[in-house]
Amino acid sequence: MNLTLKVWRQKDSDSKGKMETYVVSDIPEEASFLEMLDIVNNQLIESGGDPITFDHDCREGICGSCSLTINGVPHGKGKGITTCQLHMRKFSDGETIYIEPFRAKPFPILKDLMVDRSSFDRVIESGGYVSVRTGSAVDANSMPIEKDDADTAFDAATCIGCGACVASCKNASAMLFVSAKVKHLNSLPQGAPEKTKRVVNMVNQMDKEGFGNCTNQYECEAVCPKSIKAEFISDLNRQYGTAIVKDAIS
Partner 1 sequence: MNLTANSFIKFYSSSIGKKVIVAITGLALIGFLLGHMVGNLKIFAGPEKINSYAAWLHSMPLVLWGARIGLLACFFMHIFTTVMLVIQNRRSKGSRYVYQHTNKASGASRTMIWSGIIIICFVIYHILHFTVRFANDYDSSAYIDTMGRHDVYKMLIDGFSWLPASLFYIFSMALLCWHLSHGFSSVFQTLGLRTDKTWGLIKASGYAYSLIIFIGNCSIPVSILAGWLT
Cβ proximity to ligand SF4: between 40 and 167 the closer is: 167
Binder of partner 1 out of 153, 203, 225, 228 (CB under 8 A):
203
Q: Which residue in the set 3, 5, 36, 64 belongs to the binding site for ligand FES (CB under 6 A)?
A: 64
Q: Of 148-177, which residues contact ligand FES (CB under 6 A)?
A: none
If binding is defined by CB under 6 A, does position 61 make contact with ligand FES? yes
Q: Alpha-carbon distance 224 to 206, whole Å?
A: 18
Pick out residues in 175-214 that bind ligand HEM (CB under 6 A): 213
Q: Which of residues 55-84 bind ligand HEM (CB under 6 A)?
A: none
Residues in 107-166 that interact with partner 1 by CB under 8 A: none
52 binds ligand SF4 (CB under 6 A): no
Burial of 14 (C-beta count, 10 Å sphere; 0-12/13-18/19+): exposed
In this chain, which residue has its C-beta nearest to ligand HEM? 215
Q: How far apart are CA 118 and CA 130, in angstroms?
A: 20
Sort 90 into a burial class: Cβ within 10 Å, 0-12 / 13-18 / 19+.
Answer: middle
Q: Is 69 in the site for ligand FES (CB under 6 A)?
A: no
**What are the backbone dihedrals phi and psi of residue 181, each rounded to the nearest 5 degrees, phi first?**
-65, -45
Beta strands in 71-161 (DSSP E): 73-74, 96-101, 109-111, 114-115
Q: How far is the CB of 102 from ligand HEM (least distance, A)?
A: 22
* Contact status, residue 133 vs residue 174, Cβ threshold 8 Å: no
Q: Which is nearer to ligand SF4, 64 or 191 (CB)?
A: 64
| Binding of residue 59 to partner 1 (CB under 8 A) | no
The listed partner (ligand SF4, ligand HEM, partner 1, none) that binds 63, CB under 5 to 8 Å by sort, is: none
The answer to whether 241 contacts ligand HEM (rule: CB under 6 A) is no
Q: What is each CA distance from 160 to 121, 131, 231, in whole angstroms? A: 12, 22, 18
Please state the φ and ψ torsions of residue 106, each to the nearest 5 degrees: -75, 0
- Structural contact between residues 73 and 133, judged by C-beta atoms closer than 8 angstroms: no
State how beta strands 3-9 and 96-101 pair.
parallel
Among 34, 104, 159, 200, binds ligand SF4 (CB under 6 A): 159
Q: Which residues bind ligand SF4 (CB under 6 A)?
A: 159-165, 176-177, 180, 224-226, 228
Q: Which residues bind ligand FES (CB under 6 A)?
A: 56-59, 61-66, 82-84
